[in-house]
Amino acid sequence: MPWYSFKEISARFDDVVLINTPAMDKVVERLAALQRYGFSVRQRRLLSAIYGRIINRRLAEIKPDIVLSIGASHKLIRIDPKWRLLHVSDGLFMTMVNYYEKFGRFRQAVLRTGHNDLQQFMCKVDLTLFASQWAHDSALTHYDLDPARARVDLFGANLDVDPGFRERQLDGPLTILFVGYDWERKGGDLVLATWRLLREATGDAELHIVGCKPAVAANIDGVTVHGRLRKSDPRDYAKLTHLYDRASMFFMPSRAEAFGMVFCEAAAYGIPSVAAITGGVPSVVIDNETGLLLDLGADARAYADRILDLWSDKVRFRAMSLAARRRFETHLNWNAWGEGVERGINDILSGVISPR
């Protein structure tokens, strides 16, 4: 279970038991490379049977009031249907397969098995909380789901400390921050091309790149490549915080993005985000309110024009910065997500949501 979601759940409920399957998880991780050949170990019936035996045995010992699954559908396909079950997802199997290019090599047998197993699992789920409207709507399209058993509950920013709101510097250079480990999928080339236009227009625009070290961005005046900064390292975390504090806008026009946790983090600092309309991003960034959203096919000139238009209007920029922070305070934090989970659990246990 992801740390921040586990931390939130543990703070809300007195008796939380985490079922770990480290040995099996290592096997799955090692065999994940086989995806490039169209093979997916997660969609193997033997794997789901092994997970099923391990988890059902633990559940029989624990006797929980409810089972909370966070992105663990492949482990719970064989779960005993007697348990009440709330599932959290940023996208079900067919949603992801039809969206991410890396799954395009999956063989038909893998697709059939994955789809059928997921449908079998969803028949045992009392309620699913989707991280975005996109994931929610796609699930209703691909699977036989009762709309009353599907809700949207946004994820939060992965921050240990709320940074609070600070006014952006408007009298210095336009400073663009990119944070992403996958330069190509996160739209890095488009970011660099856009920055060149911004630099030409302003004379001093800066670009800071975190999470990767693209060769095309090396040794360029005005571009600083920071590489990977680990939040677990105090020095790296302080550096990342400093970059967020200095940034004018956060820019990550991903080619594919199921959610985009970094947009939540930018909002926590009151930084308007600039992104492409794809996947779950429009649930996180609200166009012309908390940031700028452009069509997936938009080019560098289109991005540069909208960024410069916003940067030239200080009143509008300040309003967008404040709106981004408010969006974090009301929706894009783990406490807000936890409220949705707690509400869902209460609705299941109280009978508002009837048993499957």
Full 3-state SS string of 100-144: CHHHCCCCHHHHHHHHHHHHHHHCCCCEEEECCHHHHHHHHHHCC
For the cut 90, the answer to whether the pLDDT of residue 203 exceeds it is yes
Residue 288's nearest CA partner among 300, 269, 306 is: 306
The pLDDT value given to residue 48:
84
For helices 45-62 and 22-31, the axis angle rounded to 10 degrees is 160
Q: Residues 76, 117: contact at Cβ < 8 Å? A: no
Query: Going by C-beta distance under 8 Å and a sequence separation of 6 or more, which residues neighbour residue 65?
Result: 84, 349
Claim to verify: residue 152 and residue 233 sit in the same structural domain = no
d(CA 52, CA 77): 7
In a domain, 356, yes or no: no
Up-side HSE of residue 60: CA atoms within 13 Å toward CB?
Answer: 8
Helix (H), strand (E) at residue 342: helix 334-350
The pLDDT value given to residue 34:
57
For the cut 90, the answer to whether the pLDDT of residue 314 exceeds it is yes
d(CA 14, CA 346): 14
For the cut 80, the answer to whether the pLDDT of residue 29 exceeds it is no
pLDDT digits (tens, 9 = 90+) for 88-114: 999 999 999 999 988 877 788 878 888
- Token readout for 257 is 């993005």
In a domain, 162, yes or no: no
The pLDDT value given to residue 39:
53
In a domain, 164, yes or no: no
For the cut 60, the answer to whether the pLDDT of residue 5 exceeds it is yes
DSSP string of 279-317, one letter each residue: TTHHHHS-BTTTEEEE-TT--HHHHHHHHHHHHT-HHHH
For the cut 70, the answer to whether the pLDDT of residue 37 exceeds it is no
At 292, give phi and psi (nearest 5°): -120, 130
63: left (phi over 0), alpha (psi -120 to 50) or beta: left
The pLDDT value given to residue 176:
98
**Neighbour count for residue 23 (Cβ, 10 Å):** 9
Claim to verify: residue 320 and residue 344 sit in the same structural domain = no
One-letter amino acid at 322 equals L
Q: In what order do the strands lie in the sheet with 175-179?
A: 223-227, 206-210, 175-179, 249-251, 273-276, 291-294
In a domain, 355, yes or no: no
Task: Using only the alpha carbons of the chain, give its radius of gyration.
Answer: 22
Q: Residues 311, 194: contact at Cβ < 8 Å? A: no
In a domain, 122, yes or no: yes
- pLDDT band, residue 183 (cuts 50/70/90): very high
d(CA 356, CA 353): 9
d(CA 331, CA 260): 14
In a domain, 170, yes or no: no
Claim to verify: residue 81 and residue 33 sit in the same structural domain = yes
- In CATH, what number is assigned to the domain containing residue 253? 3.40.50.2000
Report the mean per-residue pLDDT for the chain: 93
For helices 3-12 and 334-350, the axis angle rounded to 10 degrees is 60
- In CATH, what number is assigned to the domain containing residue 9? 3.40.50
Domain extent, residue 272, equals 175-330
Domain count, the chain: 2
d(CA 286, CA 288): 6
Claim to verify: residue 7 and residue 108 sit in the same structural domain = yes
For the cut 70, the answer to whether the pLDDT of residue 349 exceeds it is yes
d(CA 187, CA 175): 18
The pLDDT value given to residue 172:
92
In a domain, 19, yes or no: yes
At 249, give phi and psi (nearest 5°): -145, 150
Claim to verify: residue 51 and residue 14 sit in the same structural domain = yes
Scan for tokens 């809300």, then name that residue: 12
- Token readout for 253 is 């026009």
Residue 40 in 3-state DSSP? Answer: coil
Claim to verify: residue 94 and residue 106 sit in the same structural domain = yes
Claim to verify: residue 200 and residue 305 sit in the same structural domain = yes
Model-level pTM greater than 0.75? yes
- pLDDT band, residue 43 (cuts 50/70/90): low
Q: What number is the average pLDDT over the span 71-94?
A: 94
